[in-house]
């Protein structure tokens, strides 16, 4: 199972605007094979709010998964100050197997 983590940052005074975009019915849907398994939020030391979301998908769907996530997250960038990254991640145990 492949995993992509998205990390987003935004100023707290834009939270209501971001929630409005997040709650919109006009967002492109996620493909059936892409599942959000975790969604967390915290406040960074510089006052920015930060979100983490973890998505899982079949190994052979990496390109399609990344395209779907970038298309969806691009909508959030319409909120001034919002930025994000999407990173391919793996379990630490799997990574250790690659190095030894």
Weakest-pLDDT range from 3-7, 34-38, 77-81, 87-91: 87-91
Count structural domains, the chain: 1
For residue 89, what is the domain's CATH number? 3.30.70.260
pLDDT of residue 2: 92
Query: For residue 100, is pLDDT > 80?
Result: no
Interhelix angle for 15-23 vs 62-76, to 10°?
Answer: 130
Range of the domain at 47: 2-99
- Percent of the chain scored above 70 by pLDDT? 99
pLDDT of residue 91: 84
pTM for this prediction? 0.86
pLDDT digits (tens, 9 = 90+) for 34-47: 999 999 999 877 88
In contact, 37 and 55? CB cutoff 8 Å: yes
């Amino acid at each position: 199972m492949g995993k992509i983590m998205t990390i987003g940052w935004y100023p707290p005074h834009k939270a209501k605007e971001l929630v409005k975009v997040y709650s919109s019915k006009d967002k492109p849907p996620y493909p059936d094979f892409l599942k959000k398994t975790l969604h967390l939020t915290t406040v960074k030391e510089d006052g920015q709010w930060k979100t983490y979301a973890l998505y899982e998908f079949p190994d052979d769907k990496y390109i399609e998964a990344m395209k779907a996530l970038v298309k969806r997250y691009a909508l959030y960038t319409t909120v001034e100050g919002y930025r994000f990254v999407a990173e391919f991640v793996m379990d630490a145990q799997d990574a250790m197997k690659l190095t030894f």
